[in-house]
Structures are given as C-alpha cells and as structure tokens.
A = this chain, B = another copy of it.
C-alpha cells in the first residue's frame, strides 16, 4: 500500500464486479471508490480482466469532470510528486497531443524559461507515427534525456527548464492504464486521456498547463469535434483540480513547418528560436508562448505577452536558453551554432511535382510513414540525417517538375517504397485552395 494519509471514515471495499457494473450503468464513482481502484492497481490486486472491462465501461459511459479530477489526483498520488516549492518562479508546462512536424515544444520550453517561466517538461512515448521530442533531441550528439528526479529539480532551479524522459516514479498507475488501453481499444477515452495528462503533468510539478490539441491527418485525432471535446475536458478537469489551464485546438492537416525528421527538425527549431521559419510555426509558437506567459502571470495583457515572447526570440534569449538546456543535459551545442556540423545524408533529391497547380491537400500521416520507411532501423530508431525538408505547404503554386520537398536519405534500397508514400501524400489542384484555419478554438 502506498503511503498516504488514510481517511478516518469507514469505507467498505466493494467488489470489482460491482464497480464495473456501476460504471456500466452510467453511475458516478465517489472519491473512496476511485481511491480504492487506484490503490488496487498499485497493490496489484485489481485483476487485468477487470481493469479491461472497467476501461471499456468508462469508454462508453464517460466520467464527470469531478470524477475525472479525482482519478487524475489519485493517479498523481500513486507515485512521486515533484516538489518545486523552493523555486519561486511560476511553473507551467506545455502539452501537445502530438502531430507530424510539430517541433513547438522544443521551442516553447526554452522560450518560456527565457521569459522567466519554469518548464518542468517530461515526455512519454508519442502516438503511432509521431516522432517524439526526445527522438529529435537524440540527433544532438551527447544529449541525455534521462534525468533522475533530483537532477530534474536541480536543472529546473539552475536552467529553468528540461526536456526529459518520463520517469517510472511519476504516476506509475498511468502507465498501467495506458498499456491496458492500448490492448483493449480504449485509448481514445476522453476521461482516461484527461486523467493521464493531468496526473503526469501535475506530478512533475506544473502549477498550470497550456495544451495544444491537434486535429487532422497528421494526428491520432482525425475529428475536430473530438479534439474540441478533449480540449474542453482537460481544461474543465484542470479547473476542478484548481489548476490554471488553457487549451488551443489547432490544425495539423499538413505537417507543421517545412521539415520532418530528427536532425532536420532540430535545425528548424533553431531557426524558430531565432524568430525565423515558416509562417504557421511562427504563429503557433507566438500564440502558445503568449498563453504560457499570461497563464504564468509574467505578462498581464495580450500586448505585453506578445512583446515578451517576441523579444525573447529576437534578442536571442530563447536560443541561448535552448543551448543552456542542451548543455546541461550533456549535449554538444556546436551543431546548434553551426547547422553545417549536423550529420548529413549521403543523398538529397527532390520530390518533383507531377503537374502544375496548387498544393491542395497534404496527408501528413503519409509523409511521416514515408520518413519512417526511409530512415528507421530495425529497432525503430530514426537515422538523424534522414528526413524531408523544404515541404511546400497547402496553397503553394508549383510548376511541373518543381520540388514538392527535398528527400534526405542514406539507404537507396529504401527509397522506392518511401516515395510511394511521399508522392501519395500530395494532391495538386488547378485552383488555389482556402488556407486551413491554424487555430480552431481557444478553451480556457
């Protein structure tokens, strides 16, 4: 049994079958019942098949905001809770549901720290085809994602930010739930996603949370309504837990920015940290950055938030903070100062446009699969030099034969099958399409 203050009230343990039945019939668990479920998982007393049935019952019947908040809190308490009380600065984290080409966290974490907001960022494994932030940072020689909790707190005190690997000590019950959800087709359950995110982020020491819920063909959320529901669920439950929480629902029906890969995305992140890069990414970094500094209380008005963020980018503070963080985690920063020093692919070739026209749609998921085929070794690790760059975005006009993107690869034998995906990802049309709306909704 985990150590905790046990309530003096008498609670008669119900049977697991009774709890499943209660949820099956749409009932709402009380605090004692949720604590009992979480304790039983910690103590390995809840049989796998009953946890499975419970997940499916929750999938169909959902949980109220109060129930989900209680679950998140109990899951948070199932492991270590990082104590950042000695750090006086505001502590805010950023969470993205993940998307193809999304390198905003790499930029926002040091950017926020440069603005005086501590970011205790840990990263788990991402869904499906999305390359994780840690895989990307792995392209920097020497970078170490694995921090003990003591080191994690140290680095937050000295540098002000981390991008570290999820620790086993943080919300261990979340790991049990997540593995079960993958095996039982209950990953998309809104209350279970919500409790998972909040339990981990709050256990890592965040006082508030800015969430980016991405919807589209480059995300595991293909439906905008589902994305909106998740944004509302996380913010509502976060509020129930007395935490500040803002969510943006954003479009990822094409890759974010103009590169997909590990080393290539780090290079793009460096550009963004200097205030350069594609329009969509610049806008998203600005908007999310403004949410962070306002939530943290570092900036009061929209205007001052914008100025704070833009200054940190333009004056180089964000980039300096990034290098400081990388160095603190053992990474070599010379590749960041001089991108020429990044490992280069043996071959670079263009993907030619098959005809003239406008880029009408891009299936980001297919681009991700193409990059995986191109650069993944048998252990699933991506070659840091491999990927695609200079992606022409939706709305761009191209002539026949002009590059839709540049393909970086080391293994010629993998090119053909990758090209199938990359080619199929593009649809050209004679008329200019309406540009997709990048930020669909803000939920606070």
Contact = CB atoms under 8 A, between A and B. Distances in A.
A57 interface: yes
A56 B60 CA distance: 9
B49 A185 contact: no
Given A24-B185, A184-B20, A50 B53 contact: no
A182 interface: yes
Nearest to A19: B185
Contact of A48 (B17, B48, B57, B182): B48
Contact of A185 (B17, B59, B60, B186): B17
B185 A57 contact: yes
Contacts of A55: 53
Contacts of A17: 182-185
B50 A50 contact: no
Contact of A49 (B16, B51, B57, B60): B51
A337 interface: no
A222 to B, nearest CB: 13
A334 interface: no
- Interface of A, helix, strand, loop or mixed by DSSP: helix
Interface in A254-287: none
A159 interface: no
Contacts of A51: 49
B53 A185 contact: yes
Interface in A34-62: 47-53, 55-57, 59-60
Contacts of A20: 56, 184-185
A225 interface: no
A223 to B, nearest CB: 13
Nearest to A23: B185
A437 interface: no
A21 interface: yes
A57 B185 CA distance: 10
Interface string A412-426: 000000000000000
A57 B52 CA distance: 11
Interface string A15-36: 0111011001000000000000
Interface of A: 16-18, 20-21, 24, 47-53, 55-57, 59-60, 180, 182-186
Given A48-B48, A49-B184, 11 more contacts: A16-B183, A17-B182, A17-B185, A24-B185, A24-B186, A47-B183, A49-B180, A52-B56, A53-B53, A53-B184, A56-B60
In the A-B complex, the 8 residue pairs with the smallest Cβ-Cβ separation, listed nearest first, are: A53-B184, A56-B56, A21-B185, A49-B52, A52-B52, A20-B185, A48-B49, A52-B53
16 contacts: A17-B185, A24-B56, A24-B185, A47-B48, A48-B49, A49-B180, A49-B184, A50-B184, A52-B52, A52-B53, A52-B56, A52-B184, A53-B183, A53-B184, A53-B185, A57-B185
